[in-house]
A and B are shown apart, each in its own frame.
Chain A
Amino acid sequence: AQSVTQPDIHITVSEGASLELRCNYSYGATPYLFWYVQSPGQGLQLLLKYFSGDTLVQGIKGFEAEFKRSQSSFNLRKPSVHWSDAAEYFCAVAPGGTYKYIFGTGTRLKVLA
C-alpha cells in the first residue's frame, strides 16, 4: 500500500537558519507529490507540487523541494526561515492521475527569534 513518511514530528530552528523537512514515500511508480502548510485553525495551503520534469521545484514563500526518485524522497527546503513560517507541514502523494492524496503525519516547525 502507498504510504508517506515524515520522520521528524517536531523541528526547531532559529530565525534566519536554513530548513529541510524530510518526506519519503512508498509507491511503485512516480506519484504526484505535494507539500502543504497548515497554520493553527486554518486549512491546508499548497506550497509546491511536482508532477514531472525538472526535479527541483520552486514554490511560494521561498520554499523549494527536490524529487529524488532513487531515494523515493521529496524533501522541502528553505534557505532562511522567517518567524512566520512556524506552522505544520504536510507532505502528500497522489498515485498518478488519481488525486487521492495520501498525507504524511506532518512536521511541526517552531521558529526561535
Chain B
Amino acid sequence: EAGVAQSPRYKIIEKRQSVAFWCNPISGHATLYWYQQILGQGPKLLIQFQNNGVVDDSQLPKDRFSAERLKGVDSTLKIQPAKLEDSAVYLCASLGRFMNTEAFFGQGTRLTVV
C-alpha cells in the first residue's frame, strides 16, 4: 500500500511569512496526526484528527498555527506568521482502525525560517 505522502519536502521562508504543508494519509486511515520535530528532539504532537474532527490540539500554538482536514482525508498545516523557532521537521502520521496497530509516518517537511 502507498505510504503517507507529504509535500513539500523542504521549504525556506523568511520570518513573518506564511507557509503551508500538505499531507495525504494512507487510504482508509481515519486518524491523522501532525508532529513537530525540532533538531535534536523527539517529535511533539501538534494536532490529532479523527476523520475531519479535531481530537486533540492542546499543543498547537493557535495564535499562528492552524490545521484542517476537510472531507476526512488529506490535511494541511499552516503557519502564519512564521517565527525563527518554527524551524523544524513537520511530520504527518496516520493510523488505521484495527486494534494493536501503529501509526505510519511520512518523510516530513523540513522548514527553515530565516
Chain A residues packing against B (C-beta within 8 Å): 4, 34, 36, 41-46, 49, 51, 90, 92, 99-106
Partner of A44, one of B45, B56, B91, B100: B91
B56 touches A101 (CB 8 A): no
- Count chain B residues whose beta carbon lies closer than 8 angstroms to a beta carbon of A: 23
Within 29-69 of B, Cβ neighbours of A (below 8 Å) are at 31, 33, 35, 40-45, 48, 56
Contacts A51-B100, A99-B103, A100-B48 known; A44 to B95 CB distance under 8 Å?
A: no
Question: Is B82 at the interface (CB under 8 A from chain A)?
Answer: no
Q: With both chains docked as a complex, state the minimum distance between the C-beta of B7 and any C-beta of chain A, in angstroms.
A: 13
Contact check, A49 vs B102: say whether CB atoms are below 8 A apart. Answer: yes
Task: Decide if B43 touches A44 in the complex (CB within 8 Å).
Answer: yes
A65 to chain B, nearest CB (A): 14
Set A4, A44, A104, A105: member contacting B105, Cβ < 8 A: A44
Known interface pairs A41-B107, A43-B4, A92-B42; 18 further A-B residue pairs with C-beta atoms within 8 A, sorted by A's residue number: A36-B105, A42-B107, A43-B108, A44-B43, A44-B91, A44-B93, A44-B105, A46-B104, A49-B102, A99-B31, A100-B45, A100-B48, A101-B33, A101-B43, A102-B45, A103-B43, A103-B44, A105-B41
